[in-house]
Structure 1
Amino acid sequence: MRYLILEDGSIYAGEGFGSNKETLGEVVFTTGMTGYQEAITDQSYANQILVFTNPLIGNYGITLADYESIEPGIKGVICHQVANHPTNWRMQTTLPKFLDHLGIPG
């Protein structure tokens, strides 16, 4: 179980993925239907916790060729559902493994 605790004291519980470490950042959202890897590696989201409004992310995995930046600056990822078994012939790893490797909680 993971918790999102907002500055006003609101607490939201959810299932975690990625890294288990605690993080701190501004919560922002993106409405993109595709491009979750590009958003996660986009430096414009540095020091922010990124909420995806699309209900499912991770369904085509992670591919080195699709990075915006090799060192993502985001502090966390929030989504409704993450795909643990993506399918794409270009995929090199899954989104949960990618975030765990980088120390980014989801």
Structure 2
Amino acid sequence: MEVHRQLGPGLLESAYQECLFYEIKKGGFFVEREKILPIVYKDIKLDHGYRIDLLIENKLVIELKTVECFTDVHIAQVLTYLRLGNYPLGLLMNFHSKILKNNIKRLINT
């Protein structure tokens, strides 16, 4: 919330990602930025299949967006990250909004 309060909407995802990374790390959490998530399909391993925006404590996936509104594809993307990495929880955050708390979607790996 602090990052959005300070910067407001209208910037690129990378700006929010960098600032959010800073705030999370400053809070004492282990956080990885642009975490590579390999894809395994049968006998093929794609080492650089996806990149998770932020991964906190190896449990929470955070995917950042700067879009008008979430689509089913955005939600599916986070759910895929959760499934492939066997992570329990994800947050989809849209910084292209006046009020950030109305544009955060919590997703669970079931």
TM-score, L = length of structure 1? 0.27
Structure richer in strand, relative to its length: 2
Structure richer in helix, relative to its length: 2
For the pair shown, the structure with the greater C-alpha radius of gyration is 2
